[in-house]
Structure 1
Amino acid sequence: MRAELKSVDSPDVDFATYWPEDENCFSFPITLRIGAEGHDAADLFQMTVCTPGWLSRENAGKAAVLGQNLLIVFHYNWEMIHSYLQNRINRLTAENWSTLAVKLSRFASWEFENYQA
C-alpha cells in the first residue's frame, strides 16, 4: 500500500493569494488529507510550516526548544512546499493503512494518534 496526499488546507492561509510579509520569517498551520493511493478515504494530519527565522524570533532567549510536527522551509514558495510534501508522502509504503499512518505520524500529527477504542 502506498500513501497519497489528497489535499492540503490551512485555516490561516489561502494558498492562491497568500504571500508572507517577510518570506524568510513566517509560520502557518496546515492540514494534510492523506489516504491510500487509489482510494477516496483519507485521514487528517497536521503540522506547521515555518522558517528558521520564525523559530528564532518566537523562541528568543530560550536555551533550547523541542520541535514537533514542523516543516521547516528557508523561504516562501508554495509550489515548492507542496511538491516537497507530495514527494515525501507519496513514496511511503507499508503492508496496511495502520502501519502507513504510523510512518506518517512521525512528521505530522495524526488525528487518531492517541485514539483508544
Structure 2
Amino acid sequence: MGPTVTVTATPPPGADGTTPAGDTVSGPPDTGTAAPRGTIPGDGTFFVGKEVAPGTYRSDGPADPNVPYCSWARLKGTTGNPGDLLAADGSKGPLTVTVLPSDVAFKTEGCKPWRRAG
C-alpha cells in the first residue's frame, strides 16, 4: 500500500470575488505555473510561502512610462480591510522591500517585475 495523500481544496471565488467562507480572493488565477524562483511579476496579490518566498526583493520601478509610479504592500490578510495592511510604499524610481515569513500576502501595482536581492 502506498503513502496516504491529503488534499485540501478551496472553492473557487464567486462573481463578487469571495469564497463561500467570505474570504476575498485577489491576484491572478493559479495557473499551476509559478514565476521563476526569486521573482515576483509586476502586478497582483501573491500569497507568501505559496507564490512568493520570504526575502528581500527589488524592482526597477514603474512599468509604464505613462504612469510613472509603482507601489507595494505587505498584508496580514486579503479581506481588503485597512487592518490588513502591515506596510506599504511607492515610488517613481527603484524600490526595495523585505517580505517577511509572517506576511500573508504581498501586493504590487504598476511595477516592473521584482527580483530577489542578494
Superposed pair shares fold, TM > 0.5:
no
Q: TM-score range by the shorter chain?
A: under 0.3
TM-score by length of 2: 0.28
Q: Which has the higher helix share?
A: 1
TM-score by length of 1: 0.28
